[in-house]
Amino acid sequence: MAAFKETKLPANAPIAEKGLAWVDDRFPLTKLWNDQWGKYYAPKNFNFWYIFGSLAMLILVLQIVTGIFLTMHYKPDANLAFGSVEYIMREVPWGWLVRYMHSTGASAFFIVIYLHMTRALLYGSYKKPRELLWLFGFAIFLCLMAEAFFGYLLPWGQMSYWGAQVIVNLFGAIPFIGPDLSLWIRGDYVVSDATLNRFFAFHVIAIPLVLLGLVAAHLIALHEVGSNNPDGIEIKENLGADGHPVDGIPSHPYYSVHDIFGVSVFLVIFSTVVFFAPEMGGYFLEYNNFIPADSLKTPAHIAPTWYFTPFYSVLRATTADFMYVLMGAIALYVVFIWLKSRLSFMVKSAIAVVALLAIIGMLPAVLDAKFWGVVLFGASVMIMAALPWLDHSPVKSIRYRPDWHTYVLWVFGFVFVTLGYLGTQLPTALFTLISQVCTLLYFSFFLLMPWWSAMGTFKPVPKRVTFHPH
């Protein structure tokens, strides 16, 4: 460590410059700005898919700020909560705007995050050396789901109440400890005032703190390894005379202006929804949530908010009959691994033993379909974390993968959207069958990825990024 040295500036230097020098001697302000944004060299070939990271950041700030002001008027009490939300809507000056910004922001957050993740899938942004970056991002996604779930109970409407009842009871499906675990989460025998109070605490302080920490980790990891790009080329491998990547440009001002433009477009769309369709036809704010919570009556049609429905469909697809299909699928998968993978004998045997235990567990006499529904529900979310290790493609970007990989991604996208749609609908025999097929396809996409992602003829990856000066 060098000794402290005060930066000497000419006496007639501007006051701002002197002030900054004084701070920089005591706190690495300029260094932080340059490392994290000002002189952070990003690939010059970003396309519109690269706007969603900064949009997510914007929405995070929006949610925190609007959330703080909502907290000033909201009452986390089972007798007062519903009324206090109506009070915010009708009597607090501009309260309706703050609340609609917050509720629309929640859906906007998920739209932006899903698109952000789609980008990663298209350009292989999770592949080495960005595995940890992906994991931080995945943890942020989990936090967002928790945040949305806890927040949804707060208006204390019918959908809030019964949605929380269903999700908390998911934990009840765990053998032996399940019922006690649900009781512990609720703090009462049914969803009640105690539940509302603790969910409020999680929503306004516990999860946001974790979320902010993870966002910081996500950004630090990103700026450490550098951004991926639509060509999936490591720009740091090709440095110019100045020591900066020849295909990189400083984020400021180049991407600052891009982001400001993206933010403007986003805010136009966002404001349109806030002012003209805050309920979004019952998708952003469900109609049943305008009825106060009633512990004696479940609404005729309950469904989670749209961003949870793909996973919720997986839960509903797991019926007793479907267990036999799953048992067959697991057996086939193990045979496939034994024949087609280069894993060691030990690993293969371990997989076979786990699979055998799962198949035994799936027998009707052992564990209920209900339990396995919860397992698949959890697995359908968690499996995304494994992407960096499931994708064995020699190239990152979809641009240089075989053309048919694009179709695989399209099918996956279609399956995901279909599951999402079915999750909003009442279950019928046909819908259940479709969701079962989609569930199998969903898991096949991930579990067979080690093979299909390495198959086909890959195109040569260029040395420099594809970029047309404009």
Partner 1 sequence: MSNEKQVDPGRRGVLVATCATGGVIGLATAGALVSTFQPSEKAKAAGAPVEVDIDGMTPGEMRTVEWRGKPVWILKRSPDMVDSLKKTDADVADPKSERAPDALTPEYARNQYRSRKPEYLVAVGICSHLGCSPTSKFASGAQPNLPDDWKGGFLCPCHGSTFDLAGRVFKNKPAPDNLEVPPHMYLSDNRLIIGKDEKGEA
Summarize as ranges the residues that interact with partner 1 (CB under 8 A).
Answer: 162, 165-170, 172, 183-190, 192, 194, 198, 295-302, 315-316, 318-321, 368-370, 373, 426-428, 432
Nearer to partner 1, 111 or 440 (CB): 440
Give me the phi and psi of 451, to 5 degrees please: -95, -55
CB of 371 to partner 1, least distance (A): 8
CB of 179 to partner 1, least distance (A): 9
Nearer to partner 1, 164 or 415 (CB): 164
Nearer to partner 1, 164 or 274 (CB): 164
- If we measure between CA atoms, which residue out of 379, 416, 407 comes closest to residue 117? 416
- If we measure between CA atoms, which residue out of 202, 190, 239, 197 comes closest to residue 74? 197
CB atoms within 10 A of CB 412: 17
The region that residue 40 occupies, defined by phi over 0 for left and psi between -120 and 50 for alpha, beta otherwise, is beta
CB of 53 to partner 1, least distance (A): 35
Nearer to partner 1, 187 or 213 (CB): 187
CB of 299 to partner 1, least distance (A): 7
Q: How far apart are CA 276 and CA 218, in angstroms?
A: 34
- If we measure between CA atoms, which residue out of 167, 193, 444 comes closest to residue 302? 167
CB of 161 to partner 1, least distance (A): 10
Q: How far apart are CA 115 and CA 103, in angstroms?
A: 19
CA distances from 385 to 7, 145, 289, 307 (A): 47, 15, 33, 18
Angle between helix 131-153 and 207-225 (nearest 10): 160
Nearer to partner 1, 103 or 288 (CB): 288
CB of 313 to partner 1, least distance (A): 11
Nearer to partner 1, 70 or 293 (CB): 293
